[in-house]
Chain A
Amino acid sequence: MNGPLNMHTELHPVRSRGAPVCRDTAHQLSVIRSIVAEVAAAMPPPAMAAVDPPMAFAPTSEHHYGRLYEPAELQDRLLWASGLVGETKQTVVANLRAAQSLGPMRRLAAPPSVSAVDALARDFPHCGDVTALLRRRIALAHCCPTPTFRLPPLLLSGAPGCGKTALAKRIAKLMAVPHAEFDMSTLHTSFSVVGLDVGYATGRPGRLWEVMQHECMSPVLILDELDKARSDGSDDVVGFLYSLLEPVTARRFTDAAIGLAIDTSKVNWIATCNDLRAIDVAILSRFTVMEVPQPKVHEMPAVIASIHNDLMSAADWIGWFDQPLSIDVVAALAALSPRAVIRAIEDAYASAAAAGRRVVVPADVSDSRSPHRSHPIGFIHNDKSSETRA
């Protein structure tokens, strides 16, 4: 058979002609109901759920699957790669073989649990818009028998240090899918993401291809500091986003080195930025922009608790100290930004250790905000500094 097999054919034996068709949900339910009736006769029954009208569908598996690539196209590329030579051939063939071994059908992300989103809302109380969006998307995902979850491309915008990147990582974690981070401020070309043609000496597949070589085809890709992406003149660093953020064109993304079309429309994109004006309007229009404000003072205790919990799991020395932080210390930390809180907590523990105490006191908390730089470095000055100089 030349055509691709679908999952149903691969998993079930083909029924011979004339054999009795086995559609037996009604039989199953009738037996179950009779057993439930017997139990109900023996003990006071709670009100039972009415059984739906005959199911139009039956859940087939826990996870829904999608097709990453067409096997026939992969065979074509393998044939093409066999004509290459040297290290180039090894790279391309190894990547194609790896994709072949994982198979064309890949798992799609399942919706996260509502309790996980509740925990997210508790730890990021200032990001109510984002958690509300997650709840709506979860509800939408559960409107079909095999719920699959996909976020719209999200752009988290806000002041430095307000917790955008931490929020993006946390969303990736609660979705229980693979995730990758692209630091856009240090990205000078798009080759490292979308690959470079193997005709070049340094040609190799991009990170997007590598991330997609997983049993799940709905990874979370975090584009950190999208507004800081700088083009080197010959290559538009963020140019790949034009097609990848459009579901229609993303369905047939082709890595420049591998040349096999893969479906990247199920990828969950989360970008962060400080300044929306620095982002091209065409890219901006492809994102759902969500403002992440600085947490208010009354929201800070939850944020501090979340940061402190993360620190407790990461720092070995923290076991030496008495836990948790006192209310006075939390109050002292509440005046800082979330990023400054991370530094301030560590500094506070360091001060306590130096003083030989196992308890952090408010006096240990120093203001870790970066001192305002009065004279900018370099020759370009902003308007305010120019005014000052004038």
Chain B
Amino acid sequence: MNMTTPKTTPFVESICWLESRCESVPHGWQIAYNNMLCRLMAADCPARAEVVVRGPYMDDLNLRVTQNTPDPVVAGILRRLERATAQSCEVCRRPGKLRCLDRTVRVLCGHCAGPRLASLALTRVIRDLDKSAKGSPDEEIWWESAPVQLRPLIPASAWQVLDVAGVRSPVRYTSSGRLEEHRPWLEAVRRALDEAT
């Protein structure tokens, strides 16, 4: 058994640095991140002493760690992290995918994305209500083109049916003018959605 103190290499030091940054990684990705650290430690050998890993960086798609020299084993470990974080929810670790929120993109599962997307859609609707109150022309919301998350939030009485000759299925739409009377309900739902996220 080798009783001497293990020599610290740039590779190990950089892994320790990554370990110290673990708290900054979103909760849902921490297991994948820790797995990567374990794999990197297991890959430590004299041949990789000079390899330095840097990060973690939040790419627009996923979590990313880079290396200074192209080592295929380290590259494989880092690629595995990227792939895992691109496909798992950054909040709860369930399978997820990239979602466009208002000005950001996040990898989220359906459970976490639903309330956020619904809140976003509802915020736009309430913003249109505010504009209409100031005299802007009404904005229409068409059932077919409305976000799926928004549809269950709008009261049935607010939808109007447009009969079009030659079109079999009824075309439903509503407008900010008609939604104005349901404003308290919409704002209460938005508050609840925001609290849930």
Name the A residues within 8 Å of B184 (CB-CB).
43
Are B109 and A147 interface neighbours, CB within 8 A? no
Indicate whether B24 reaches chain A with its CB closer than 8 angstroms.
no
In this complex, the interface size class of chain B, counting residues with CB under 8 Å from chain A, is: 35 or more
Partner-binding segment picked from B29-37, B41-49, B70-78, B144-152: B144-152
Q: Using a CB-CB cutoff of 8 Å, which residues 112-155 of chain B contact chain A?
A: 113-115, 117-118, 137-140, 142, 144-149, 151-155
User: Which of B96, B98, B167, B185 makes the CB contact (< 8 A) with A45?
Assistant: B185
Are B188 and A42 interface neighbours, CB within 8 A? yes
Name the A residues within 8 Å of B144 (CB-CB).
142-145, 147
Q: Using a CB-CB cutoff of 8 Å, which residues 137-184 of chain A contact chain B?
A: 139-140, 142-147
Indicate whether B156 reaches chain A with its CB closer than 8 angstroms.
yes
Are B61 and A13 interface neighbours, CB within 8 A? yes
Number of residue pairs A-B, CB distance < 8 angstroms: 144
Are B142 and A32 interface neighbours, CB within 8 A? no
Name the B residues within 8 Å of A39 (CB-CB).
185, 188-189, 192
Are A32 and B164 interface neighbours, CB within 8 A? no
Residue of B nearest to A51 (CB): B152
CA distance A276 to B158 in the complex (A): 46
In this complex, the interface size class of chain A, counting residues with CB under 8 Å from chain B, is: 35 or more
CA distance A52 to B152 in the complex (A): 9
Beyond A19-B87, A49-B155, whether A24 also contacts B109 by CB under 8 A is yes
Are A28 and B138 interface neighbours, CB within 8 A? no
Q: Please list 16 pairs of residues, one from A and one from B, whose beta carbons are closer than 8 Å in the complex, sorted by A's number.
A: A13-B61, A15-B87, A22-B97, A24-B113, A32-B118, A36-B153, A46-B156, A46-B185, A48-B152, A49-B151, A52-B151, A113-B138, A115-B139, A136-B164, A142-B171, A145-B144
Name the A residues within 8 Å of B182 (CB-CB).
46
**19 further A-B pairs in the complex, CB-CB below 8 A; given A51-B151, A119-B137:** A16-B83, A16-B87, A24-B111, A26-B110, A27-B111, A27-B114, A31-B115, A36-B153, A39-B188, A46-B155, A49-B154, A49-B155, A59-B147, A115-B139, A115-B140, A140-B167, A142-B142, A143-B171, A145-B145
Name the B residues within 8 Å of A296 (CB-CB).
none
Residues of B within 8 A of A (CB): 61, 83, 86-87, 95-98, 109-111, 113-115, 117-118, 137-140, 142, 144-149, 151-159, 162, 164-165, 167, 169, 171, 173, 175, 182, 184-185, 188-189, 192-193, 196
Residue of B nearest to A21 (CB): B95
Indicate whether A377 reaches chain B with its CB closer than 8 angstroms.
no
Beyond A28-B114, A36-B153, whether A22 also contacts B95 by CB under 8 A is yes
Residue of B nearest to A136 (CB): B164
CA distance A116 to B140 in the complex (A): 10
Indicate whether A8 reaches chain B with its CB closer than 8 angstroms.
no
Name the B residues within 8 Å of A13 (CB-CB).
61, 86, 98
